[in-house]
Structure 1
């Protein structure tokens, strides 16, 4: 760290870019998958009070675990709810909320056991950097491409935000993402997008559900939830950190997410894991020029998660009234740096370029097989291709 950066860190412990990256990470995290959470809650027949409890503990769990891991490692280690886990719940049938809660506890215990054993950490160390970066680029690329969907739904808003991004990148690159977000909000407000919106203000309360341990629920929901959380969530989360040069103790991180899952499962905190897409917003250069202080962006993300959890459905409703085009555009622009860096690093070794390219393409395709998402299969494909071509050469 240079003398100037040390002085800046001492005088300005937090930057606007930290606040912007943390907020946008939370915005993207909620708006991209909160609908799946609502479907999962509805599938289990939860009451309104229990639904509010879910949103409370999910926000608290993500926020507090992010704060613990980011402060403890001095790295931007973000966590998230298990989106594929929520999809499994939404697709389940014949399960009561107590039975599902028992399955959540089994998943949490398996996460804790995995973290304490250390085998997952050792496994991720065997993944070549080129393939790890290719997988991350594929994950982020499929998300970044949605800006063109937004262009079709609200051309004026997207073009305005794009023009603001180009101007700010030239004049004040550190504040480009924050400026683009406020420009988008100003446009929506000026065109009447927020008129007639009223949100009740109320604090959410936890609702305890006594778990019921049913063998069909444990095997049919708890075990698959653990598997998809590890393969589709934790693996990309580790890759995201590695791509930007961060190597925390992965075993300890997974143990922490497992402990939060165990403590909050009876209240609706079904499963927590390492974040990938939202983490990339805080680990990339737009969050901070200095990699050593990017963890401060994660601290803001964690704090925002806690506030949103406490406010429950009120703040989530506020997120949901934002135009989808605005959310997709700001997410794509915030991820541009990470996509470019990952692609560059993935294609750098010439003898691994074919394997990395296939890994990238398979990940970006978004296919799934046997209920396991594209990142796992893409990485497996890349490893097979890399091994085969190396032996041939």
Structure 2
């Protein structure tokens, strides 16, 4: 990994983090965890995890991205942040559980992590992923996110008062500070749940962190509906943008080693229920920007602090999972949908950014959003294949 490409990136004296770095790192971890926690939990449960397995998965992911962030930032002296794959979790929520249950999903998580390692080690595979037209990758992601993004509407229809309170809290907070919109909505959801259906600690069950080892199994269905789409959305929606965020802020790490790092930590987290770890994008911007630390050579401290906070959140994963799974699923899905609206808007914008690829992108979006799978292949992969085939046909006709 190379050093930050900045005129100010002169090695600083060895001293601890400044207050702005601590504040930025803590904020990045809180926002990153709370904003996508409902999505991650919904994804694991939809993939077949029990409450205990989902809590173990959240804990494994928290430790993986915390330790991975600490390792990468301290070793490179750059603000490199890892995060769980939020688009990947949304994919799991859209695909549902296969016949083999959560063990089959865990097998797919392992394969996806191995593919990320391969993409970072074998350049042809990395180039192949990067060569997927951005409108098609964006359209596939938009199709995956669509189902969860309509959850707030369904929640308002089924549970008007609490759902409207959640939506109002999200909208008002977003007007003031978008970073805190989802965490505030999650707090309002918790208050609404406790107010309407008090839950005692005894009813929630044991809250101590517990790692649950899941023996993986493999199937063609899991490979095509989970492993391959999870690999594509994680690479296209988080790993590659994560490199771009660092570049915008003047840092030029070698992508290959970072991709391998995220793949390795994904493989380590998978047996305990974690779906995927990737480079962070939004939270990376919080740690890599000038607000985190005036000196670019010292901003890595902000990322390191966020890694420590992620590990602390991992110790509380069982409590978070217990409370959220006890709440009405519609309310948690509503918060998850609100958390993904920005990502959905960005994906849809990317899908129609190039006029000559709009039809192919819309084919990808419609097929993916339908959720219809056949021949053992899920809607996300069919959408990408169909959009790619239509785009190839368009180009062939032009050449002809």
User: TM exceeds 0.5?
Assistant: yes
2:371–2:378: 8 Å Cα contact kept in structure 1?
A: yes
Partner of residue 303, structure 1: 311
1:60–1:306: 8 Å Cα contact kept in structure 2?
A: yes
2:228–2:381: 8 Å Cα contact kept in structure 1?
A: yes
Displacement of 1:355 in angstroms is: 0.9
Selected match of 1:114 from 102, 111, 118: 118
1:233 aligns with 2:194: no
1:193 aligns with 2:190: no
Partner of residue 345, structure 1: 350
2:225–2:379: 8 Å Cα contact kept in structure 1?
A: no
Pair 202,259 (structure 1): closer, same or farther in 2 beyond 3 Å: same
Q: Which moved more, 1:314-323 or 1:291-300?
A: 291-300
In structure 1, distance between residues paired with 2:54 and 2:388 = 39
In structure 2, distance between residues paired with 1:8 and 1:388 = 56
Partner of residue 152, structure 2: 147
2:56–2:210: 8 Å Cα contact kept in structure 1?
A: no
RMSD: 4.4
Unaligned runs of 5+ in 2: 1-5, 9-17, 73-78, 245-252, 293-301
Displacement of 1:196 in angstroms is: 4.5
In structure 2, distance between residues paired with 1:192 and 1:59 = 27
1:65 aligns with 2:64: yes
Pair 33,60 (structure 1): closer, same or farther in 2 beyond 3 Å: closer
Partner of residue 250, structure 2: none
Displacement of 1:31 in angstroms is: 3.3
1:278-357 equivalences under 5 Å are 283=281, 292=288, 299=307, 302-303=310-311, 306-308=314-316, 311=318, 315-357=320-362
In structure 1, distance between residues paired with 2:41 and 2:169 = 24
2:324–2:332: 8 Å Cα contact kept in structure 1?
A: no
TM-score normalized with structure 1 length: 0.70
Partner of residue 19, structure 1: 30
2:207–2:322: 8 Å Cα contact kept in structure 1?
A: no
1:269 aligns with 2:272: yes
Pair 264,343 (structure 1): closer, same or farther in 2 beyond 3 Å: closer
Selected match of 1:175 from 171, 174, 180: 180
1:107–1:223: 8 Å Cα contact kept in structure 2?
A: no
Displacement of 1:243 in angstroms is: 7.8
Displacement of 1:134 in angstroms is: 1.3
Displacement of 1:144 in angstroms is: 0.5
Partner of residue 44, structure 1: none
TM-score normalized with structure 2 length: 0.69
For 1:123, what is the secondary structure of its paired residue?
Answer: helix
